[in-house]
């Protein structure tokens, strides 16, 4: 089916008579197999990068090398089923794509809805409205290519990738006195923010994973700045919830998605609205949201902070299929006089898409 000027991947796979091989194992491959099952298509094999193919089994299929797969199947379709930002890995993906028909299916980190033709047409009005929000031509070009990628899985759309450094230096205004990091992990993004914006003197950092939070606590002082760490998940209210702890990516509030992190385990986590734990007022404030699919809830929990401070935001817009359009629409309502820029940074699949929200 042709949609938005491209061919939907899942329809293409149903109609192809080529063998279909997964490149990669783990949670991403689990999700791809689940979608293939829903459309009545079966993966014929799986291969891994050299060093990871040890003759082990994945979903009953022997994991081979790429060379072994070529020898066994000849011509076949490759479905990239893992993610990486490593230049060497991405170069290898592109090398394979030059030799074989290759796609990186867009399966969401959180939630169940696949960005297929049905999803596109159901949300077409919102998709069109979100496009008009973006503040520059580069954002609109990136948006169009990302929408096409979500439909067809073709990594050639990633020609619009740009380095994060350029966005931090050229889009955000700087001069921040305080920083809120939602999804602070081990403190790496706190260090990054301070390195770019040394005027930051106050930091609040939230990290829900108990295992990762211990690392954040150990790094709670950077260059004389005190970091106030909280072991909780950013939400629209305070409370408690079940939590699927993937120790980083794929950590989710349980019940928010039927697809849970491969090898993760459930435990309890505190929920917190930023408005309830941060007393900031009158600050030049930078807020980063990378909360594995809870971005919309977290935005609802910081309405006071947004109204009482001079705020700029960095918001991840890739965890849920709807994030690419629903988050810009929500942010525009919350901050109607701000400008919203969209950038995708190097990553396969499209896992590093950020909204940069400035005055």
Q: What is the CATH number of the domain that holds 235?
A: 3.40.50.150
Instruction: Tell me the pLDDT of the chain (359 aa) as tens digits.
Output: 788 999 999 999 999 999 999 999 999 999 999 999 999 999 999 999 888 888 899 999 999 999 999 999 999 999 999 999 999 999 999 999 999 999 999 999 999 999 999 999 999 999 999 999 999 999 999 999 999 999 999 999 999 999 999 999 999 999 999 999 999 999 999 999 999 999 999 999 999 999 999 999 887 776 667 789 999 999 999 999 887 765 555 555 654 443 243 345 567 899 999 999 999 999 999 999 999 999 999 999 999 999 999 999 999 999 999 999 999 999 999 999 999 999 999 999 999 999 999 99
Among 81, 105, 129, the domain-final residue is 105
Where do the H-state alpha helices sit in 114-239? 117-122, 124-131, 137-152, 164-170, 188-196, 210-218
Total number of domains in the chain: 2
3-state secondary structure of 287: strand
> Is residue 76 situated within a structural domain?
yes
Cis peptide before 349 (omega within 30 of 0): yes
Give this prediction's pTM: 0.93
On whether the CB atoms of residues 208 and 233 are closer than 8 A, the answer is yes
The token pair at 341 is: 């820029």
> Is residue 332 situated within a structural domain?
yes
Q: Are residues 318 and 197 in the same domain?
A: yes
What region, left, alpha or beta, does residue 280 occupy, with left being phi > 0 and alpha being psi -120 to 50 degrees?
A: beta
If you compute the radius of gyration of the chain from its CA atoms, what whole number of angstroms results? 21
Alpha carbon 265 to chain centroid distance? 21
Q: Are residues 218 and 333 in the same domain?
A: yes
Provide the domain limits for residue 40.
1-105
Q: What angle, rounded to 10 degrees, do the helices at 323-334 and 124-131 form?
A: 60
- Under 8 Å CB-to-CB from 23, ≥6 apart: which residues? 46, 47, 48, 66, 78, 79, 80, 81, 82, 93, 96, 102
Closest CA to 294 of 237, 345, 333: 237
Q: Are residues 101 and 169 in the same domain?
A: no
> Is residue 128 situated within a structural domain?
no
């Amino acid at each position: 089916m042709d949609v938005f000027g491209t061919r939907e991947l899942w329809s293409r796979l149903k109609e192809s008579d080529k063998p279909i091989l997964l490149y990669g194992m783990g949670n991403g491959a689990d999700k791809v197999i689940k979608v293939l099952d829903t459309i009545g298509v079966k993966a014929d094999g799986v291969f891994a990068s050299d060093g990871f193919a040890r003759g082990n089994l994945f979903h009953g299929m022997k994991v081979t090398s790429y060379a072994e797969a070529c020898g066994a199947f000849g011509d076949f379709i490759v479905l990239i089923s893992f993610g990486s930002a490593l230049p060497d890995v991405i170069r290898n993906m592109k090398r394979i794509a030059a030799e074989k028909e290759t796609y990186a299916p867009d399966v969401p980190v959180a939630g169940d809805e696949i960005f297929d033709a049905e999803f596109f047409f159901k949300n077409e009005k919102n998709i069109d409205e979100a496009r008009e929000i973006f503040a520059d031509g580069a954002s609109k070009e990136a948006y169009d290519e990302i929408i096409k990628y979500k439909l067809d899985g073709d990594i050639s759309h990633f020609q619009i990738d740009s380095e994060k450094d350029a966005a931090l230096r050229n889009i955000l205004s700087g001069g921040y006195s305080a920083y809120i990091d939602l999804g602070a992990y081990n403190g790496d993004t706190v260090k990054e923010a301070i390195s770019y914006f040394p005027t930051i003197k106050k930091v609040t950092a939230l990290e829900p994973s108990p295992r990762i939070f211990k690392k954040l606590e150990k790094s709670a002082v950077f260059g004389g700045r005190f970091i106030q760490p909280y072991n909780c998940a950013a939400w629209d209210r305070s409370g408690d919830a079940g939590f699927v702890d993937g120790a980083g990516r794929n950590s989710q509030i349980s019940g928010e998605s039927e697809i849970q992190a491969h090898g993760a385990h459930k435990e309890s986590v505190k929920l917190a609205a930023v408005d309830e734990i941060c007393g900031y007022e009158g600050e030049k404030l930078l807020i980063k949201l990378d909360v594995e699919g809870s971005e919309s809830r977290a935005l609802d929990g910081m309405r006071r902070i947004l109204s009482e401070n001079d705020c700029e935001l960095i918001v991840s817009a890739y965890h849920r299929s709807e994030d690419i359009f629903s988050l810009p629409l929500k942010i525009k309502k919350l901050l109607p006089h701000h400008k919203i820029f969209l950038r995708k940074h190097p990553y396969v699949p499209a896992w590093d898409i950020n909204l940069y929200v400035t005055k």
